[in-house]
Amino acid sequence: MTTHTRLWIVEDNLSFALEMEIFATDLGYEVLGLTSRGEDALEAIPGQEPDLIIMDINLEGEMNGLELAKELEPTGIPILFITVHDRPDYFELAQETNWAGYLVKPFDKLSLQAAIEVALRQRYAPEKEGFGENVLRPDCLLIKAQGVYHRVLFTDIDFIQSEGNYCTIFTKDRRYALKTSLRQLLEGLPKDQFSQVHKSHAVQLSRIDAIDSGAGEVVIGAHRLPLGKGYRDALIKRFKVLK
């Protein structure tokens, strides 16, 4: 599962963070970035869309790892927590977030690899089969509503709005509710057609009428969707901009 697996490390001990980066790179993972403060990680991570976050619970700054995990929960990105404290209360609080594993320092390269692989398998293996009662096809979703499967082409989707582990798909004519996180849903959708623009919103690129970077909004018809700072540059790069 190491192929194309992207990691983000949140650790305020620079030497330990660099050691983890070396471990991860040696094991074949791609490390997208390192941050030491929760506030910086909250701004940087959503726009990069890593497959897994490796996060220390105790961080410098006003936000600790557990608080940061709560803020990142709408993204659905799984988190492998690391800490020097073998505390039951930390473990219980971690389980209330997008946690996918818990590793107590110190650990070696093999222990890190095992924890990463288990975290990724637990979080992503089930979703390859589909989205609950809904079915993912190469060009569409079959969404079950009141016993009927509705065929929703990817090209008919305007945007997606999430709230926790639920998503609402908006098309021109109607809305569809799914019990799945935005992160999980985007994993199954064509990456060349969809882009996340906010921690709780993703859009069909061909449906965008305007990008108002000043107001921090994406315009699709009558809808004005929030555009997060961490997603703005990545979204604009998806288009050929003429000046």
Residue 165, domain CATH:
2.40.50.1020
199: left (phi over 0), alpha (psi -120 to 50) or beta: alpha
pLDDT in tens, 2-54: 446 899 999 999 999 999 999 999 988 999 999 999 999 999 998 888 889 99
Whether the predicted model's global pTM rises above the 0.85 cut: no
Residues 57 and 94 in one domain: yes
Q: Which two tokens stand for residue 106?
A: 């110190």
Task: Please state, in angstroms and rounded to a whole number, the distance separating the CA atoms of residues 197 and 224.
Answer: 12
Residues 93 and 170 in one domain: no
Q: Which domain holds residue 230?
A: 135-236
pLDDT in tens, 147-172: 677 888 999 999 999 987 789 999 98
**In-domain check, residue 242:** no
Q: Which two tokens stand for residue 242?
A: 């003429």
SS3 226: strand
Give the Å distances, CA to CA, from 89 to 59, 81, 92, 101, 107: 17, 13, 5, 15, 21
190: preceding bond cis by omega (within 30 degrees): no
Taking Cα atoms as reference points, which of 165, 231, 75 lies closest to residue 218? 231
H runs (alpha helix) in the chain: 14-26, 38-48, 65-72, 88-94, 109-124, 182-188, 229-236
Write down which residue in 99, 124, 149 finishes a domain: 124
pLDDT in tens, 53-96: 999 998 888 889 889 988 888 888 889 999 887 667 777 777 77
